[in-house]
Amino acid sequence: MSDVDQWLSEFDTALRANDTAGAAALFHEESFWRDLVAFTWNLKTVEGPSEIEAMLDATLEHTQPTNWHTTEPPDTADGITTAWIAFETATGRGNGLLRLRDGKAWTLLTALYELKGHEEPKGTHRPKGVIHGADPDRVTWLEDRQREAEELGYSVDPEVVIVGGGQGAIGLGARLRQLGVPTIICERNERPGDSWRRRYKSLCLHDPVWYDHLPYIKFPENWPVFSPKDKIGDWLEMYTRVMELNYWGSTTVRSASYDPDEARWTVQVERAGQAITLRPRQLVLATGMSSQPNLPVIDGMDVFKGDQHHSSKHPGPDAYAGRKCVVIGSNNSAHDICAALWEAGADVTMVQRSSTHIVRSNTLMEIGLGALYSEEAVAAGVTTEKADLIFASLPYRILHEFQIPLYDQMRERDKDFYDRLEAVGFQLDWGEDGSGLFMKYLRRGSGYYIDVGASELVADGKIKLAHGKVARLTEHAVELEDGTTLEADLVVYATGYNSMNGWAAELISQDVADTVGKVWGLGSDTTKDPGPWEGEQRNMWKPTRQDQLWFHGGNLHQSRHYSLYLALQLKARMEGVETPVYGLQEVHHLA
């Protein structure tokens, strides 16, 4: 019997005997069990035998896990044996990844992938699509779809309303559709994909194609590595249609309130000018991490005679050839906009207030993502689904330890590049513990640029650099606190976005926003991610302290992967499956 089979058998025996201490004793003192909905009906990481025992004490009775087995031969490297596993619970089927060291568990990922009796109709269970024979009352697929569209939200209550119709809502909507959960997606823009189309015209995805697939339909093999924004917009529009989503474009959600007696939301929307009240059980805010602009208030904004706008409203460079442009900020949007303005023949200055983490796109692809998301990874059998689970299996608590050496390698490989940037005065950082881009993203969702060319322009002095805080605007200039005056025909505020519970305050109430607390971040006690340690991303894809309110979003990878667990949580509630939540998150910060 292999180490892994032995471990799984002992684990199974302990769990069947309700011996939670015995099961916990199979884990190392430093160990991590990350559960995605299978045991906890939550996204939850427990650490070390005593937390594991407590979690099992609370969850084992209703979970009743059985049938633990490997799904392919385990792999051993550097003293760690890694095994793909599967199991069943009373209500569903799960998979995961187990890492053993010296016969004991170091990390365990358990992830629910389907509910028993509510499996997706796919593969051998796919819908037939046709009813053979003669039927004078035959209803075609199109008629059926039209009837659904006419009724849902009018004479039939949706189970779920998703506020916002970006890629997050669209992927989640597709999963809910496959699970038979009646859902309406409300998007204030006219068409699916418009949130990408409306961004500045030079924008291409910063992440490569292997990282970006949506659920169910992968990009074709000839899809570009970095998708131009309008192309991704068209893909989302196509996807929304073929996945049969009830997508209400030109629909603004005005307000929402929760009725605890009826356990339903009242959602006031305006659809193409018409006021409609929706009464879903579940409300998902998928309004985007990067959609509520953080616009600074600066003295003199009212007297400035040129154009000024937040980066999200930047129309592109065409009108600014030969003009003086000042871009406030030094992260992704600032760099992209500066480069496009320079290409159009503008005179561009970037104002850097604090240090920025920069990685070159190619280097990031090779060193940071290549093992999991690349053509090579695909060729080595690392499917998107496997890559997502491997990534999910690395505990957040120690993720930075895996990241630091990668970023050390990047710093070494591109030393010349960084030296040149520092020589012109660009202030660089690598995250507070040197763990680089992905940790910054998980912790604060900002503070970096993936270099696709703008840094060379900065290093060459083609994009000019200024430092410090803006003191005021005058009619024709930006003045910095150190007295530097930058003449300007255009000022772009590339100053980022606000936290997502701001949306709960805006649409529901400040009370609910405060009940739920800050969204995003891990509690790493680094800039913009205050402690205490949370263990998971705050409030994302899991139950919140407001009944029946959920947050969904993140980059394409996160939206794809975590939409599965959110969809299963929503489906289980619709079907009346018991969903006792273990370890509901405490609220430590309001925003």
Ligand X SMILES: Cc1cc2nc3c(=O)[nH]c(=O)nc-3n(C[C@H](O)[C@H](O)[C@H](O)COP(=O)(O)OP(=O)(O)OC[C@H]3O[C@@H](n4cnc5c(N)ncnc54)[C@H](O)[C@@H]3O)c2cc1C
Of 76, 61, 81, which is closest to residue 20 (Cα–Cα)? 61
The residues, any chain, with a CB within 8 Å of residue 60's CB and separated by 6 or more, are 15, 18, 20, 39
Residue 553 touching ligand X (CB under 6 A): yes
* Smallest gap from residue 487 Cβ to ligand X (A): 27
Least Å distance, CB 313 to ligand X, is 12
255, 421 in Cβ contact below 8 A? no
Which distant-in-sequence residues (6+ apart) come within 8 Å of 380 by Cβ?
none
Pairing of strands 80-88, 75-77: antiparallel
| Closest approach of ligand X to the CB of residue 164, in Å | 3
Rounded CA gap, 483 and 463, in Å?
20
Q: Kindly state the smallest distance separating residue 563's Cβ from ligand X, in Å.
A: 10
The secondary structure of 413-457 as a DSSP string is HTHHHHHHHHHTT--B---TTS-HHHHHHHHTS-SEEEESSHHHH
**Residue in the block written with tokens 């409203």:** 313
- The smaller minimum CB distance to ligand X, of residues 24 and 556, is found at 556
Q: Which is nearer to ligand X, 68 or 541 (CB)?
A: 541
CB of 490: closest distance to ligand X in angstroms? 18
156: three-class secondary structure by DSSP:
strand
Distance between start and end Cα atoms, the chain:
52
Determine the 3-state secondary structure of 155 from DSSP.
Answer: coil
Which DSSP symbol is given to 580?
Answer: P
CA angle 497, 503, 505 (to 5 degrees): 125
Report the Cα 346 to chain-centroid distance in Å.
Answer: 35
Give the length of the chain. 591
Cα distance between residue 576 and residue 556, in whole Å: 30
For ligand X, the binding residue among 49, 96, 158, 168 (CB under 6 A) is 168
Name the minimum Å distance from CB 194 to ligand X. 6
Q: Pick from 31, 91, 167, 356 the residue near ligand X by CB under 6 A.
A: 167
By C-beta, is 286 or 458 nearer to ligand X?
A: 286
Which sign does the torsion angle of CA 64, 538, 444, 553 carry? positive
- What's the rounded Cα separation, in Å, for the pair 449 and 433? 18
**Minimum distance from residue 337 beta carbon to ligand X (Å):** 9
Nearer to ligand X, 18 or 510 (CB): 510
- In the complex with ligand X, which residue's Cβ is closer, 287 or 455? 287
Structure tokens at 340: 């496009």
Residues 4-43 that bind ligand X (CB under 6 A): none
Q: Which of 555, 563, 569, 579 binds ligand X (CB under 6 A)?
A: 555
Binding mask 424-463 for ligand X (x = CB under 6 A): ----------------------------------------
Of 47 and 212, the one with the shorter C-beta distance to ligand X is: 212
By CB under 6 A, name the one of 4, 8, 26, 169 that touches ligand X: 169
Residue 471 to residue 300: CA distance in whole angstroms: 9
Tell me how far, at minimum, the Cβ of 453 lies from ligand X, in Å. Answer: 15
The least distance separating ligand X from the CB of residue 305, rounded to whole angstroms, comes to 27
**Contact pattern from residue 317 through residue 336 relative to ligand X, giving x for each residue in contact according to CB under 6 A and a dash for the rest:** ---------------xx---
Q: Which is nearer to ligand X, 11 or 247 (CB)?
A: 247
Output the smallest distance, CB 230 to ligand X, in A: 13
Torsion-angle region of 505 (φ positive above 0: left; ψ -120 to 50: alpha; else: beta): alpha
Return the amino acid letter for 533. W
Q: Which is nearer to ligand X, 6 or 255 (CB)?
A: 255
Select from 24-32, 82-90, 136-144, 550-558 the region that touches ligand X (CB under 6 A).
550-558
Q: Where are the alpha helices (H) located in 133-215, listed in sequence order?
A: 141-151, 167-178, 194-197, 209-212
Q: How many residues bind ligand X (CB under 6 A)?
A: 30
**Is there a contact between 84 and 110 (Cβ–Cβ < 8 Å)?**
no
Write down the number of H helices and E strands in the chain: 19, 25
Tell me how far, at minimum, the Cβ of 138 lies from ligand X, in Å.
37
Q: Rounded to the nearest whole angstrom, what is the least distance from the CB of residue 285 to ligand X in the complex? A: 8
Round to whole Å and give the CA distance between 564 and 562: 5
**Residue numbers 471-510 binding ligand X by CB under 6 A:** 507
Using CB under 6 A, pick the residue from 153, 166, 193, 280 that binds ligand X.
Answer: 166
Q: Which of residues 224-263 bind ligand X (CB under 6 A)?
A: 252-253
Closer of 421 and 507 to ligand X (Cβ): 507
Q: Per CB under 6 A, which of residues 135..154 are in contact with ligand X?
A: none
My answer on whether omega of the bond before 532 falls inside 30° of 0, hence cis, is yes
The residue (of 46 and 203) whose beta carbon lies closer to ligand X is: 203
* Binding-site member from 556, 564, 566, 577 for ligand X (CB under 6 A): 556
Per the listing, tokens 């906890």 go with 40
Verify binding: residue 563, ligand X, rule CB under 6 A. no
- The stretch among 161-169, 342-350, 413-421, 479-487 that binds ligand X (CB under 6 A) is 161-169
If the CB atoms of residues 243 and 473 are measured against ligand X, the closer one turns out to be: 243
User: Shortest approach of ligand X to residue 214 CB, angstroms?
Assistant: 11
Q: How many CB atoms lie within 10 A of CB 341?
A: 28
**Binding residues among 352-391 for ligand X as defined by CB under 6 A:** none
Q: Determine if 540 is a binding residue for ligand X (CB under 6 A).
A: no
Backbone angles phi, psi at 36, to 5 degrees: -110, 85
- Give the SS3 label for residue 151: helix
Beta strands in 281-425 (DSSP E): 282-285, 307-310, 324-328, 347-352, 357-360
Q: How far is the CB of 254 from ligand X (least distance, A)?
A: 7
Q: How far is the CB of 559 from ligand X (least distance, A)?
A: 6
The residue among 94 and 165 lying less far from ligand X, judged by its C-beta, is: 165
DSSP state of 525: S
For residues 304 and 550, which CB has a smaller minimum distance to ligand X in the complex? 550
Per DSSP, the three-state class of 294 is coil
> Which residues 179-218 are close enough to bind ligand X by CB under 6 A?
186-189, 195, 199, 203, 205-207
Binding to ligand X (CB under 6 A): which residues in 278-317?
286-288, 290-291
Interface with ligand X (CB under 6 A): 163-169, 186-189, 195, 199, 203, 205-207, 252-253, 286-288, 290-291, 332-333, 507, 553, 555-556
